[in-house]
Amino acid sequence: MEHWVDGQLSKAQARKCIFAATLGCGLEFYDFLTFAFFAIQIGHTFFPSSNAYLSLMGSLAVFGTGFIGRPVGAFVLGGYGDRVGRKPAMMLSMAMMGTAIAALALTPGYGTIGIAAPIIAVLARFVQGFALGGEVGSATTYMVEAGGIARRGRSASCQGICQGIALSLGASVGLTLSALLSPADLTSFGWRIALLLGVSIVPFAIWMRRAIPETKGSAEPKFDVGVAGPSHRQIVVLGLALIGAGTILNYVQTYMATFGQTELKLSTTVSMAAQLSGNLMIIIASVIGGIACDRWGRRPLLIVPAAVLVGSILPMIMWVDISRSLAGFFAINLLLGIFNNVCNPALYVAIAESLPPQGRSRGFALIYTFPVALLGGTTQMFVTWLLHVTGNILALGWYMTGIGAIGLIAALLLPESAPSKRGWEPIVTDTIVPAAA
């Protein structure tokens, strides 16, 4: 029989640790993704042009720069988390993210300092991506290790919950600012306020993380002779495919506010309200997915939502194309928010618990960030181009359906990794490292 060694904290300690990791992770996602909500306004600031399409593409190119830094950060900070500890890596990534986002928010526009403005914006976004690439591996690994074997899904669901909260806060801030400010003020300083709100919480998040214990090396699997676990190659290849498909659909979802304004000619306020509704569903879906994958295993929570998406995306897009209704636009946001995120806890746990702890932080970070860097950074640009050249929003529906089908195939091929579903026997040892002062 295969034996697993896992560190355990008391429930109160685990909640505190996971909250600290979740808070920091959520803040970093808020800062990173809020950029997408204000892509039009940021484009006007750093890439002023009489051609709205070129201005938006310039802004999205800067947004994509952050994804170039993510695999670099995953390798460097992920390795640091494996060698030194998850906690120091999380502290470092948080400090870097706060510095980079402040630099972006405080940089004057092209009209004031010329070409230096977009150059600084690109550099700041690269540092943001570097920090987030390392954060994802260290924080997610920390959540899984701190939660204990029986609650891994619920612990990992906090990664999705923090993203949903971050997206919801970003959309809420965008909705509020768009309602209170004129279009000119939103372009001039409104988006800067949104970014700086996230920066203001960074000191508190660092303070919280200083008090948590270390989990490095607390969950090492030991294998009996003759018992084969999931293939490492399978985990890597299928994990890349699943995260790649989810990434594209996630960044299509974050594009919905822009899609509503540019393609459906909806107001900024209405577009952001619809996106907010979908973002709130991410939180609910993550909670449900975490509980469900602890109870029923990882595979069912990967297969069923993927099948629902494949069968429903195109009809939903057709509905919006024909009716141009607000109900249809809200329904697409809700659909993506629920079914593209209820599977995330199962996916994160399946990858993390199948990797050895001595390389888990870097391994998870690289599997996560490579498809995110390759696909997340280009998705919004590709969708903008696709809609521009086809002039038909049904092209987006076909594209999303194809991506969903790839994710479904990968889900069907991914082995079950839950110890309770494979007959693995957990052996629990307490190897949590006390918090440093």
Rounded CA-CA distance 59/39 in Å is 6
pLDDT digits (tens, 9 = 90+) for 4-25: 334 455 666 677 777 777 776 7
pLDDT digits (tens, 9 = 90+) for 280-330: 888 889 889 989 988 888 899 999 999 999 999 999 889 988 888 788 888
User: Cα 435 to the chain's mean position, in Å?
Assistant: 27
- Read off the pLDDT band of 228 (50, 70, 90): very low
- In this predicted model, which residue has the larger pLDDT, 35 or 404? 404
Q: What pLDDT was estimated at residue 8?
A: 53
Mean pLDDT value across residues 191-197: 88
Query: Residue 184 above 50 pLDDT?
Result: yes
- Read off the pLDDT band of 216 (50, 70, 90): low
Walk across the sheet containing 425-428 and list its strands. 221-222, 3-6, 425-428
Rounded CA-CA distance 177/195 in Å is 12
Lookup: tokens for 78? 């992920």
- Read off the pLDDT band of 434 (50, 70, 90): very low
Q: Please tell me the total number of residues recorded for the chain in this structure.
A: 437
How many CA atoms does the CB half-sphere of 33 hold within 13 Å? 31
Average confidence score pLDDT of the chain: 80
Mean pLDDT value across residues 103-128: 87
Q: What pLDDT was estimated at residue 429?
A: 38
Query: Residue 226 above 50 pLDDT?
Result: no
The lowest-confidence range among 64-68, 76-80, 179-183, 409-413 is: 64-68
Lookup: tokens for 255? 């594009």
- Read off the pLDDT band of 147 (50, 70, 90): low
Domains annotated on the chain, with CATH: 3-428 (1.20.1250.20)
Query: Residue 190 above 70 pLDDT?
Result: yes
- Read off the pLDDT band of 33 (50, 70, 90): low
* 433, β-bridge pairs: 214
Q: What pLDDT was estimated at residue 307?
A: 94
| In the chain, % of residues over pLDDT 90 | 13
Q: What pLDDT was estimated at residue 219?
A: 44
| In the chain, % of residues over pLDDT 70 | 86
Query: Residue 176 above 80 pLDDT?
Result: yes
- Find all residues with CB under 8 Å of 79, minimum gap 6, and list them: 361, 362
DSSP string across 319-350: HHHHH--HHHHHHHHHHHHHHTTTTHHHHHHH
The lowest-confidence range among 44-53, 181-190, 272-281, 421-430 is: 421-430
Q: What pLDDT was estimated at residue 430?
A: 34
pLDDT digits (tens, 9 = 90+) for 392-432: 889 999 999 999 999 999 999 988 877 665 544 443 333 44
Token pair 């484009």 in the structure block, residue: 43
Q: What pLDDT was estimated at residue 422?
A: 54
Q: What pLDDT was estimated at residue 223?
A: 34
Q: What pLDDT was estimated at residue 230?
A: 55
User: Hey, CA dihedral for 56, 61, 65, 68, is it positive or negative?
Assistant: positive
Judged on CB neighbours under 10 Å (0-12, 13-18, 19+), 233 is: exposed
